Amino acid sequence: MNNSMTITDDGIQLSAVLERPAQAPCPLVIFFHGFTSTKDKPHNIASCEAMREAGCATLCLDLYGHGESGGTFENHTLYKWISNAMAAIRYARGLDFVTDIYLSGHSQGGLLAALAAGMEPDHVKGLILRAPAFMIPQCARDGNMLGRSFDPLHIPDEVPVVKGLNLRGEYIRVAQTIDAEKAMDRFKGPVLILHGDEDDLVPLRYSADAAARYADCRLEIIQGESHHFDRHPDRMKEIIRAWLAETV
């Protein structure tokens, strides 16, 4: 079943697609895309296909300021995305066919999934993270993000970023307060991290450090893969299916 819908979070309409396999009840995976991305990017669609092939339903969102959802890109922050994630979890908890809730995300969406799981460990069974951008908070505190350097104590009102887009300084101010390590420590459930060894945007060492910190984590390094998992999608799907078959 494919059900296009919206989830409302603090007056903002979030575009979402709920897809479920024929069998029910079943687990559900909530998926979060990355920075400047959408739920409809091919690598995001492929990862969610693997989850459904493993017998899980999927709920894929366009987050604040991205894709078909409300809000503007320049005004998005991790606080707003965290609120979106919690609204999605609240919605999923009300679905009568859902047995367990997993979170998944790519890049900044992977960081988001980790943060949300740390906030709601009683409602989230497991995590599937692809190239999670755990470096964002420290980069914001160091004054070096997205190839731009700035004084971390005197943040500009507007910061130019990729693709001709701008971000308000609030994005950086919020990112400076995020504690990803505390979120990792709070979550004791199973975690799968996938990372390409040719990722030129998120260094592999951040996933290695996270894998060592989580209580129950498997790190899968895909040889020759890029940040966007567009070179070996079948390998990515195989890893996700196998992990879910062991975990669900």
Instruction: Please state whether the peptide bond connecting residue 25 to the residue before it is cis, i.e. omega within 30 degrees of 0.
Output: yes
Residue 18 near residue 49 (C-beta atoms within 8 A): no
pLDDT tens digit string along 177-209? 999 999 999 999 999 999 999 999 999 999 999
Long-range CB pairs of 145-153, under 8 A, 24+ apart, other chains included = 145/172, 145/175, 152/176
Domain 2-135+183-247 has CATH 3.40.640.10: no
| Reported confidence tier of residue 163, pLDDT bands at 50, 70, 90 | confident
Residues of the chain above pLDDT 70, percent: 99
Residues of the chain above pLDDT 90, percent: 90
pTM of the model: 0.96
- pLDDT above 60 for 16: yes
Structure tokens at 221: 């390094």
Domain boundaries along the sequence of the chain? 2-135+183-247
The total of other beta-carbon atoms located within 10 Å of residue 95's CB is 15
Taking residues 11-32, report their average pLDDT. 95
pLDDT of residue 165: 86
pLDDT of residue 101: 98
Residue 58 near residue 28 (C-beta atoms within 8 A): yes
- pLDDT above 80 for 1: no
pLDDT of residue 2: 62
- pLDDT above 90 for 78: yes
Host H or E run for residue 129: strand 126-130
Structure tokens at 48: 């969610």
pLDDT of residue 145: 83
pLDDT of residue 175: 97
pLDDT of residue 228: 96
